[in-house]
Amino acid sequence: MSERLVIIGGDAAGMSAASQARRLKGPDELEIVAFERGHFTSYSACGIPYWVGGDVDERDELIARSPEEHRERAIDLRMRTEVVRIDVDGQRVLARDLESDGSGAEYWTSYDKLVIATGARPVRPPLGGIDAPGVHGVQTLDDGQALLDTLRRTEGRRAVVVGAGYIGVEMAEAMMNRGYEVTVVNRGAQPMSTLDADMGRLVGEAMAGMGIRMVNNAEVTKILTGDDRRVRAVATEDGEYPADVVILGIGVRPETGLAREAGLPVGTHGGLLTDRAMRVRGHENIWAGGDCVEVLDLVSGSERHIALGTHANKHGQVIGSNVGGGYATFPGVVGTAVSKVCELEIARTGLREKDAKAAGRQYVKVAIESTSRAGYYPGAALMTVQMLAERRTGRLLGVQIVGREGAAKRVDIAAVALTAGMTVEQMVSLDLGYAPPFSPVWDPVLVAARKAVTAVRKAG
Amino acid sequence: MSERLVIIGGDAAGMSAASQARRLKGPDELEIVAFERGHFTSYSACGIPYWVGGDVDERDELIARSPEEHRERAIDLRMRTEVVRIDVDGQRVLARDLESDGSGAEYWTSYDKLVIATGARPVRPPLGGIDAPGVHGVQTLDDGQALLDTLRRTEGRRAVVVGAGYIGVEMAEAMMNRGYEVTVVNRGAQPMSTLDADMGRLVGEAMAGMGIRMVNNAEVTKILTGDDRRVRAVATEDGEYPADVVILGIGVRPETGLAREAGLPVGTHGGLLTDRAMRVRGHENIWAGGDCVEVLDLVSGSERHIALGTHANKHGQVIGSNVGGGYATFPGVVGTAVSKVCELEIARTGLREKDAKAAGRQYVKVAIESTSRAGYYPGAALMTVQMLAERRTGRLLGVQIVGREGAAKRVDIAAVALTAGMTVEQMVSLDLGYAPPFSPVWDPVLVAARKAVTAVRKAG
């Protein structure tokens, strides 16, 4: 007897789950119905800044799998259809056809198994002018298209990016690449609040050096518009920043209104709570994954919300395996993230100082400078590596890296070491790849670990 | 009362030990005497191919610290002085001044603590013509200088490299960069016997594609010389390969004649045997490190000989700490190595198939193709990742990577995972850095791990 799997949300987590479930169970065993309210499926939202910036030519390059391709795999994908209610007791969802304007556009679909992959929505503070033409988020492909349309129609070349997290700095690069004069207006004292202050300062200085105007400690009070009601400037308490286009990169929140209304468990960060198998806590036949869930931070032991395509894909894979009768788990994250602004590479994993304090961990902090290759090898580029280790135990707590080519992905060494619960002393002996074109004889991460060992010993 | 530390060998391991010991103990507490038979100290032998190839302009760029710099740190460094005997019972060494030609050129120096860092010597098979002008090893800076002198004096532009391991392929690149017609004559069926056959084949194909003539399954029988007694060709059983210059890249053996004569313990690979503190087994006051020792392979549990600057530096650091009254250990290696030939990057860590067989481990093997960046991001380059995992336990046994930019250093992920004893299942959930310029949404190493998980399950 065939079961029906219903999936809400047709992007990374949802469609990965669908694909993996289909791999394990054919259409005779498992019917799969997926609802997507937008125009696209399975696309790389993380790629939008590079499309806007011109590194990627065509929108469709960001699409890993089109609706048609999913349908060819016997997935009943219903585009432009929004699920507006989940009836947990009745095991059914109410869907609305967004393209239909008549009655009868809503219908119930029952499920045996449900996957919630509703993603995240960008934060849009309730400021005057925020909905003016020329103000854009960059969360979805539709957002990206709208922004590109604005850029094509607008003559002025001044862009203001609000927010200096990953999306903010990536969009600053994108607009630089498009030839814009770029101002980044940022609430914090330095960009990248996901880094500690010293490391964020390095990023800010490097961005300023690229010709990006960095406005820190600045709270946006209003988006100013002209007589044509189009955006004209971004206002803060201290000043006005002329803008022909404004990009909001303030962050995202889990899109869990639907799940909340259905009584499903939501955590302090607003994300759905699941077990290791990505099953919604307390619900045998409901799974959730991607940007709408909270994940366990393996270092701090607490829950976090991290909107990142790589997690969404892993969640989908795990959910699909479990829904398809296999078994897989997603144990959690260590908080790894990498990014770049033009030539500057930025990476982090594990705890920041404030996370370590919040978690009640005593720590030592060290920072070193080294190079990506042997110093004498062409292209050797400076990088700064900061490392946090726990006092007494010497356990690695976190690593942040800011540098040029060859810097960011070195954070993977620390990500694996964190996952394994290594001490900085164990790290010093790590047998990492060495040859002059690839690393100094001591990899920068090991140089930091050596210094951390000394700091741990001194701290006693 | 001051102690005397005597060091035999003034390169990476020896002088790292000297520097670290000096950091911990001043000249009042510890006298340091170091003997070096060559003309240089503390240089990057791994950098020689890049100097020969022209990526590095000056020999001195390869020298991390000159004799004078060591002497400024109160290290009594005696250049061009060879230790010819170790008297273990008498706690003294006999040194010979190689620049002196008279009597009295030999003298005894007593020690309280001894460090043996005599390095490795290149294999030079006893072939006819092997000592002809134009035949060069590339083990020391002196070797590199001699080769460059030959290149300057020689008009012909045909180079034959004997051997296709790390030094062989790096020298092939160097000679390509110098504009030579390059032939690599190799005993094996494909280059890089440190890789499994399929991966070595990829390297061979790529090298051939660069215009390097690859002669496999070829045993050199003789170096043919002309009337002027200079090298003319390299002969194998099957043919002759015209050569204006011949470079020997056949490998190295631990330089342990002195230590053997002194009755110190030497392993099956000819290297000194030490404990984790790098103390020579059974000898309280003698340490050894660098290319003259054997190291524990943490994956197979057996001893290996690996001549690599990064290990030598770590050994020196550990020895210096222990000699200086601290405590440090070198637990072993997992067999990580990276290299490149022009644009081709090559990496390995852990066990090859034949190592796994020799160690009596049952395994599954998978290989995948993926890209260094998101597929749509400019510069995304193909790479092949091979992974070995143990049957039943699913433990990672080894990883090999062949690709282009961004391939080689990904092996560090596997190196840390191997050190931590991770299973491929644990690896699938690793929280690695993801952003389109740096990785596909599933890092290539994770794609391989996923496939390995499936293979382990199927193998039962």
The answer to whether A416 contacts B411, with C-beta atoms less than 8 Å apart, is no
For residue B323, the surrounding DSSP H or E stretch is helix B309-323
The answer to whether B430 contacts A442, with C-beta atoms less than 8 Å apart, is no
Task: Indicate whether A101 pLDDT > 90.
Answer: no
Kindly identify which residue of chain B lies nearest to residue A429, measuring between CA atoms.
Answer: B330
**Which residues have CB under 8 Å from A66's CB, separation 6+?**
A41, A42
Whose tokens are 């995972």? That residue is B417
3-state secondary structure B87-110: ECCCCEEEEEECCCCCCCCEEEEE
| A55, A62, A438: residue with CB nearest B409 | A438
Both structure tokens of A213: 């105007």
Task: Indicate whether A104 pLDDT > 70.
Answer: no
**A352-409 pLDDT, tens per residue?**
999 999 999 999 999 999 999 999 999 999 999 999 999 999 999 999 999 999 999 9
Whose tokens are 């009597």? That residue is B103
A61 part of a folded domain:
yes
Contacts of B339 in chain A (CB under 8 A): 435
| B201, B223, B250 - which closes a domain | B250
For residue B356, the surrounding DSSP H or E stretch is helix B353-358
Quick check: A280 and A265 in contact, CB under 8 A?
yes
d(CA A216, CA A163): 10
Quick check: B34 and B14 in contact, CB under 8 A?
yes
CATH number at residue B445: 3.30.390.30
Distance of CA A50 to the CA centre of its chain: 15
Identify the weakest region by mean pLDDT among A249-253, A439-443, B424-428: A249-253
The answer to whether A434 contacts B409, with C-beta atoms less than 8 Å apart, is no
| B62, B377, B450: residue with CB nearest A50 | B377
B316 shares its domain with B410: no
d(CA B3, CA B17): 15
B114 shares its domain with B145: no
Query: Could you give the C-alpha distances from B396 to A25, A189, A251, B390, B423, in angstroms and in order?
Result: 29, 44, 37, 6, 5
A415 part of a folded domain:
yes
Tell whether the torsion through CA atoms of A264, A266, A271 and A276 is positive or negative: negative
Contacts of B310 in chain A (CB under 8 A): 432, 434, 439, 441-443
Contact of A310 with chain B, judged by CB distance below 8 Å, is answered with yes
The backbone torsions φ and ψ at residue B142, rounded to the nearest 5 degrees and listed phi first, read -60, -40
Residue A245, Cβ density class (10 Å: 0-12 exposed, 13-18 middle, ≥19 buried): buried
Both structure tokens of B306: 């690996």
B354 shares its domain with B453: yes
Q: What is the pTM of this model?
A: 0.97
Contacts of A46 in chain B (CB under 8 A): 374, 434-436, 441
CATH number at residue A117: 3.50.50.60
Quick check: B94 and B78 in contact, CB under 8 A?
no
* Helix and strand totals (H; E) in chain B: 12, 25
Angle at B359 between CA B357 and CA B360, to 5 degrees: 65
Contacts of B297 in chain A (CB under 8 A): none
Active-site hit among A5, A46, A296, A318: A46
Point out which residues pair with A348 in neighbouring strands: A337, A400
Looking at residue B460, what is its pLDDT? 87
Point out which residues pair with B401 in neighbouring strands: B347, B385
The answer to whether A338 contacts B55, with C-beta atoms less than 8 Å apart, is no
The backbone torsions φ and ψ at residue B364, rounded to the nearest 5 degrees and listed phi first, read -115, 150
Residue A60 C-alpha, separation from nearest chain B C-alpha, in angstroms: 10
The answer to whether B409 contacts A410, with C-beta atoms less than 8 Å apart, is yes
A460 part of a folded domain:
no
Query: Helix, strand, coil % (nearest 5) of chain B?
Result: 30, 30, 40
Tell whether the torsion through CA atoms of A249, A250, A253 and A257 is positive or negative: negative
Quick check: A359 and A380 in contact, CB under 8 A?
no
Q: What is the DSSP string of A120-189?
A: EEE-----BTTTSTTEEE-SSHHHHHHHHHHHHH----EEEEE--SHHHHHHHHHHHHTT-EEEEE-SSS
Chains A–B, number of C-beta pairs less than 8 Å apart? 208
Contacts of B408 in chain A (CB under 8 A): 433, 435, 438
A235 shares its domain with A259: no
Active-site hit among B5, B6, B30, B46: B46
Task: Indicate whether A100 pLDDT > 90.
Answer: no
B141 shares its domain with B225: yes
Contacts of B44 in chain A (CB under 8 A): 374, 376, 436, 441
The interface predicted TM-score (ipTM) is 0.96
A63 shares its domain with A14: yes
> Can you give the residue range of the structural domain that contains B214?
124-250
Contact of B381 with chain A, judged by CB distance below 8 Å, is answered with no
Tell whether the torsion through CA atoms of B162, B166, B171 and B177 is positive or negative: positive
B382 shares its domain with B445: yes
B332 part of a folded domain:
no
The answer to whether A433 contacts B415, with C-beta atoms less than 8 Å apart, is yes
d(CA B33, CA B70): 11
| B47, B308, B374: residue with CB nearest A376 | B47
Residue A141 C-alpha, separation from nearest chain B C-alpha, in angstroms: 15
Residue B308 C-alpha, separation from nearest chain A C-alpha, in angstroms: 8
Query: Helix, strand, coil % (nearest 5) of chain A?
Result: 30, 30, 40
- Give, as one character, the DSSP assignment of residue B271: P
Buried b (16+ CB within 10 A) or exposed e, B249-279: bbbbbbbbebbeebebebbebbbbbbeeebb
Query: How big is chain B, counted in residues?
Result: 460
Neighbours of B243 (CB within 10 A): 25
For residue B400, the surrounding DSSP H or E stretch is strand B396-403
A244 shares its domain with A129: yes
What is the full per-residue pLDDT of chain B (460 aa) written as tens digits?
699 999 999 999 999 999 999 999 999 999 999 999 999 999 999 999 999 999 999 999 999 999 999 999 999 999 999 999 999 999 999 999 998 876 658 999 999 999 999 999 988 899 999 999 999 999 999 999 999 999 999 999 999 999 999 999 999 999 999 999 999 999 999 999 999 999 999 999 999 999 999 999 999 999 999 999 999 999 999 999 999 999 999 989 999 999 999 999 999 999 999 999 999 999 999 999 999 999 999 999 999 999 999 999 999 999 999 999 999 999 999 999 999 999 999 999 999 999 999 999 999 999 999 999 999 999 999 999 999 999 999 999 999 999 999 999 999 999 999 999 999 999 999 999 999 999 999 999 999 999 999 999 999 8
| B250, B275, B304 - which closes a domain | B250
Residue B423 C-alpha, separation from nearest chain A C-alpha, in angstroms: 11
Phi-psi bin for B42: left (phi > 0), alpha (psi -120 to 50), beta? Answer: left
Neighbours of B136 (CB within 10 A): 24
Both structure tokens of B97: 């001044």
Contact of B454 with chain A, judged by CB distance below 8 Å, is answered with no
| B250, B274, B290 - which closes a domain | B250
Residue B178 C-alpha, separation from nearest chain A C-alpha, in angstroms: 16
Contacts of A377 in chain B (CB under 8 A): 47, 50, 55-56
B117 shares its domain with B130: no
B359 shares its domain with B304: no
Which runs of consecutive H residues, i.e. helices, occur in A293-348? 309-323
CA dihedral A52, A55, A59, A60 (to 10 degrees): -170
The answer to whether B420 contacts A420, with C-beta atoms less than 8 Å apart, is yes
Q: Identify residue A76 by its one-letter amino acid code.
A: D
* Helix and strand totals (H; E) in chain A: 12, 25
B335 part of a folded domain:
no
Phi-psi bin for A210: left (phi > 0), alpha (psi -120 to 50), beta? Answer: alpha
A393 part of a folded domain:
yes
**A173-189 pLDDT, tens per residue?**
999 999 999 999 999 99
Contact of A338 with chain B, judged by CB distance below 8 Å, is answered with yes
Number of domains in chain B: 3
Contact of B239 with chain A, judged by CB distance below 8 Å, is answered with no
A134 shares its domain with A205: yes
The answer to whether A436 contacts B335, with C-beta atoms less than 8 Å apart, is no
Question: Is residue A46 among the annotated active site residues?
Answer: yes
Both structure tokens of B219: 């045993």
Query: How big is chain A, counted in residues?
Result: 460
**A124-134 pLDDT, tens per residue?**
899 999 999 99
B190 part of a folded domain:
yes
| B376, B406, B422: residue with CB nearest A62 | B376
Instruction: Return residues 49-68 of B near A (CB < 8 Å).
Output: 50, 55-56, 61-62
B87 shares its domain with B132: no
A132 part of a folded domain:
yes
